[in-house]
Structure 1
Amino acid sequence: MAVPGPSLFTLRDTSQKVICCHHNRLLAPPRLPVPPPEKTSVVPNQFMDPSHFPIVMGIDGGLCCLSCSTSAQPTLMLEDKKIMDLYQNSWEAERFTFTCSASSSTLRFELVAFPGWYLSTSPRNDQPLWVTYHLGEAEITNFYFKKV
């Protein structure tokens, strides 16, 4: 089923830090006081098995998308790619795709291009969003994902 455009969500970690964009970097400041949370644009990756809930996430109205580097160890990046272009192109979308897995009332976002690596925040405030393979350790890998 084709989607006409991305759905919008807000993202916050389990310690209530919201995800905001500051100088083209995604940061996790404490909830108060804070600028409003970033509205995250989301489309499914229609070329992957839907049972794994593969999604592409973007900001700035879907004009800039989260991706991982192509080096040996993943690095989270924001790239100037239109989310709807990625929705249409299977060959380019893999490094922009995350699978979602539920853990009670939260979600974890795993990189498709790097299995075992998850979106994460630091327990400290105002640190960048990044990826880790250390589940259940110091990094926070569970998020609340709320439809706007």
Structure 2
Amino acid sequence: MVDNIGSQAKAVEQPVFRGIRDIYQQVLVLQDKTIIAVPEDGNVIPISLMNIPCRDESLEKDKGNPIYLGIAETQLCLCCENSRGQPILKLEERDIMELYRTQKAEKSFVFYRNETGNISTFESAAYPGWFICSAVEKGKPITITKDVGRDNTAFYFDLRD
């Protein structure tokens, strides 16, 4: 399968499926409509994330590869929105392919993916300087932070078959 995250977004038939875990070897699971980081073991079924490029050419070029992120086998996509004057990360029911087909980006759903070796970070396009993060404590929700030095923003984002 071709990885569709390159800076030159081409027409794609479907999203790429990836496994995701943080640097503490916690995998992500879906609990109700919340993504939780839990220790990787045989008793949990981690989510696969779908990702597909954002085709809006007007987005900043130096931030990373703009992508949409969704949870496989659901109609749930990750987005950032304002809550009491601060951005929050949430899941919203949307078709990731519908987001992809839209020429103008819905910035609340766009994340800039940056890679250093096999580690990825995901910065919100709607809230520059805010990154998807996990807590060191097990069983905590995935959130968004601007305190990159204190909170974990590094993830392994591996292709799934």
AA aligned to 1:14 is I
Q: Which residue in 2 is equivalent to 1:141?
A: 153
Q: Which residue in 1 is equivalent to 2:33?
A: 24
AA aligned to 1:112 is A
SS of 1:18 mapped into structure 2: strand
Looking at structure 2, the residues matched to 17 and 4 of structure 1 have their Cα atoms a distance apart, in angstroms, of 31
Larger helix fraction of residues: 1
Q: Which residue in 2 is equivalent to 1:4?
A: 13
Q: Which residue in 2 is equivalent to 1:65?
A: 77
SS of 1:124 mapped into structure 2: coil
Root-mean-square deviation (CA, aligned residues, Å) is 1.7
Larger strand fraction of residues: 2
Where do 1:117-128 residues align within 5 Å? Answer: 117-128=130-141
Instruction: Return the TM-score normalized by structure 2.
Output: 0.85
Once the two structures are TM-superposed, the CA of residue 56 in structure 1 deviates from its matched residue by: 0.3
- Gapped regions of structure 1 (runs ≥ 5): none
Q: Which residue in 1 is equivalent to 2:65?
A: 53
AA aligned to 1:123 is V
Q: Which residue in 2 is equivalent to 1:81?
A: 94
- Gapped regions of structure 2 (runs ≥ 5): 1-9
Once the two structures are TM-superposed, the CA of residue 33 in structure 1 deviates from its matched residue by: 4.6
SS of 1:69 mapped into structure 2: strand
AA aligned to 2:94 is K
Instruction: Return the TM-score normalized by structure 1.
Output: 0.92
Cα deviations by residue, 1:65-111 (Å, 9 ceiling, x for unpaired):
00011443110010000000111124452110100112342011000
* 129, 141, 145: which one aligns with 1:116: 129
SS of 1:57 mapped into structure 2: strand
Deviates more, 1:25-34 or 1:108-117: 25-34
Looking at structure 2, the residues matched to 45 and 62 of structure 1 have their Cα atoms a distance apart, in angstroms, of 19
Aligned pair count reads 147
Deviates more, 1:46-55 or 1:23-32: 46-55
Cα deviations by residue, 1:93-138 (Å, 9 ceiling, x for unpaired):
211010011234201100000000000000000000000001121x
* Paired residues of 1:62 and 1:84 also in contact (CA < 8 A): no
